[in-house]
Amino acid sequence: MGTAIESLDVDLEHDIDEQYQYQPGEILRGYISVTTSRQTFITKIYISITGQGAVAWEDPQFGSFNANEEYINAKHSVEDRGLKDPLLLVKGQHKFPFEYQLPDNLPSSFIGKFGSVTYVLKAIVNGEKSETNITSEPFLVIRKAEIPETSRKSENRSMEQRFWSMCSTGKIKFSITIDKVGVCPGEDIYIQAEVANKSPLYITAVQASIIMNTVYHARKKLIPFRQVVNKRRDEQEMTKGDGRKWQNVRLTVPPYIPESNLDYCDIIEISYSFQFRVEISGGKELRAEIPLLIGSVPKGLEIPTTHNPLLNKHWGSPGDDVINNGNNQYEVDYSHEANEWHRGIVPELRPFDTTMKNPLFEKTEKTELPEEIIESSRL
């Protein structure tokens, strides 16, 4: 005779945009669903919630580096009958509810090149004849870090440089403006740009990117990494006397990325920048960067400001002390080329004529999208 438990699932109430996504301080509610193929006895059903940060990398000279932090380690017995008084389950589906209030001091979920912050809910059912069934369900934590109103203003950059080739000389220059430097996950940045080529070289491409700058800490050492998390690329070739103009070109902040700084995590630091780059023949380039602040506009979707002290009283906390191996300040060299997002591929978030939003940060009012124009000109 096979196992009596046909399926074991964890169902959470808070299913936003097909993602189990929570803010620190929210109540995590759901139920354990047990489906049996026949009558059976259950001795114990318990659930655990873990949240942890981990960093690891290999150095060819100094060996392995790793560090860990623990944010949640809670367990709760939903049913604990023991062998003498097991719970009888008839054939069919059975649901066992639970709830847990998340701590306020949780960092946002993150998965990067050399480290991660992850949260997992696990359910374990002990049945007859020492039969054990286990299932797990990851969920996201996204902090709503308030963006200062001053960061919602536009910022611009301009650059020019003289180039020589075959006894001829001339300048390549560009100017760019982005409509804001403080943005929410899922929000669009609008770009205005003008590029002029008066040099004997030719321009091969123009690219605007959002770059995530990450620093991983372990054993008082660090390793930086840069990732392009989204980009717009224009590969129109421009020879001497050509110009190129961008109007209202949209570049979307990915909807499920952590806020700047990654607060409450001491082994991973995150910052963001907008980069505009003009690629020139012969491997040359002009580039400018503007620091970005990713957080949230403080509107709606409020969470409880105080905890219910009785809500988690049945949850144990058997976890070890938090390990913090990298809470020092270092000067980071970001001069190397930005790496692409995950195995060199930048994710296509959506067609350019649509929008993608993170529901936790989305505003209720609807706005009409301005017309996007990319066009060439002669100088």
The structure's pTM equals 0.80
CA distances, 314 to each of 48, 105, 138 (Å):
12, 20, 22
For residue range 191-243, list pLDDT tens digits in order. 999 999 999 999 999 999 999 999 999 999 999 999 999 999 999 999 999 99
Residue 342 in 3-state DSSP?
A: coil
Please tell me which residue, 284 or 298, carries the higher pLDDT value.
284
For residue range 65-75, list pLDDT tens digits in order. 999 999 999 99
Beta strands in 145-187 (DSSP E): 155-165, 168-178, 182-183
Rounded CA-CA distance 234/244 in Å is 10
Domains in the chain, CATH or no CATH each: 5-141 (2.60.40.640), 149-299+324-362+369-378 (2.60.40.640)
2: pLDDT strictly greater than 80? no
Please tell me which residue, 257 or 251, carries the higher pLDDT value.
251
42: pLDDT strictly greater than 70? yes
The average pLDDT across 314-328 equals: 45
For residue range 328-370, list pLDDT tens digits in order. 333 444 443 444 333 333 333 334 444 445 555 554 455 678 8
178: pLDDT strictly greater than 90? yes
By percentage, how much of the chain surpasses pLDDT 70?
Answer: 79
For residue range 80-124, list pLDDT tens digits in order. 887 788 899 999 999 999 999 999 999 999 999 999 999 999 999
Provide the pLDDT for residue 325: 37
